[in-house]
Chain A
Amino acid sequence: ETGVTQTPRHLVMGMTNKKSLKCEQHLGHNAMYWYKQSAKKPLELMFVYNFKEQTENNSVPSRFSPECPNSSHLFLHLHTLQPEDSALYLCASSQDEGQGYEQYFGPGTRLTVT
């Protein structure tokens, strides 16, 4: 285990549903990330939080809404998704710059939008 947990591991939702993905890291890191992994495509960075502040939003549609209440928890709120949003959503964490470079990933949430 990497010290990064994600729940749920699998989620099926309709296009009109609202759901949330949860990530928790037990590593004492200050930065947390959301990535989207689609079949046959590179991992895509969605959001970056550093010390609870969002520092990057890589042109992600507003139907994805992140929340970082503290440095250990990260959420991704989902609403009115499209079938093309079906993917594996990965959370990662790292120490801040100057302390360490490594990003540690959770196991992911497999999301299917019907």
Chain B
Amino acid sequence: EVQLVESGGGLVQPGRSLRLSCTSSGFTFGDYAMSWVRQAPGKGLEWVGFIRSKAYGGTTEYAASVKGRFTISRDDSKSIAYLQMNSLKTEDTAVYYCSRAGELLDPDYWGQGTLVTVSS
């Protein structure tokens, strides 16, 4: 059974940093790209970015709203994907979901999400 568990969310002040982790099990982590999607309170879904598998260079893509501030990385030996968030803004407040990218790179399995609140 595919399982994705996010951790690391919480309350953080504007301008500070936070790192989210996504611990995966139930599949061969290194074979898949991994995505992050967020949802602000009461709003729709927003694709944040993803990281390709090492077989495809382990490169990353980001939404314009987070490019240059957020970095996605992965540790295949631990089956963990990370989302490093720097220079956080109040508008980054959201539930952050980790997801596995399916064969066509759309999210096929999702974690339960972790809430990030950016506030002074």
B is bound to A: no
Interface residue ranges, B against A (CB under 8 Å): none
